[in-house]
């Protein structure tokens, strides 16, 4: 019986205990996922798409996208930028380091939005950049996107209409 048990363990492997991530390791990865660079965004997005290797970190991947503001204002897709912003806010709050990192998370959000705007036609970019600035100001001042008003959306729509 012992031989059979040892053979099964050898074939299937003994279940190793899960690797325990330290608080410093979690903070380091969280920092690497919330920088302003395109590489940081790409690394976060790759992890978002394949979360299994990151399960030991206990990250909160939840999102409400752009909260009460439109996720696709005037057809500009801000969803993933808002998701990464939520990721930074939620996870830094969870480790008790939100205040020290809020400004950088907000700056990364703005950088993400500007990179997204750069993918649109030159003629409509001013409207997209205007909305990006408005969304950034909302999170910078209020910590949420609920401050993006209908007047801001109308002003950006006017810019877009003038460009086309």
Catalytic residues: 85
Q: Which residues of 113-133 are buried (b: 16+ CB within 10 A; e: fewer)?
A: bbebbeebeeebbebbbbbbb
Q: What does R_g of the chain's alpha carbons equal in angstroms?
A: 21
Could you tell me where the DSSP H helices lie in 52-149?
Answer: 79-94, 98-117, 125-142
Contact 37, 45 (CB under 8 A): no
């Amino acid at each position: 019986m012992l031989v059979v048990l040892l053979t099964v363990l050898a074939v299937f492997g003994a279940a190793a205990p899960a690797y325990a991530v330290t608080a410093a390791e979690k903070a380091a990865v969280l920092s690497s996922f919330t920088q302003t660079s395109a590489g940081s965004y790409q690394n976060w997005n790759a992890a978002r798409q394949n979360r299994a290797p990151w399960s030991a970190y206990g990250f909160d991947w939840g999102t409400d996208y752009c909260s009460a503001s439109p996720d696709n204002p005037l057809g500009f897709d801000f969803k993933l930028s808002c998701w990464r912003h939520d990721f930074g806010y939620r996870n830094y709050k969870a480790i008790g380091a939100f205040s020290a990192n809020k400004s950088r998370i907000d700056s990364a959000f703005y950088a993400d939005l500007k990179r997204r705007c750069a993918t649109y036609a030159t003629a409509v970019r001013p409207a997209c950049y205007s909305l990006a600035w408005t969304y950034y100001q909302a999170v910078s001042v209020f910590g949420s996107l609920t401050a993006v008003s209908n007047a801001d959306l109308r002003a950006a729509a006017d810019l877009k209409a003038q460009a086309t």
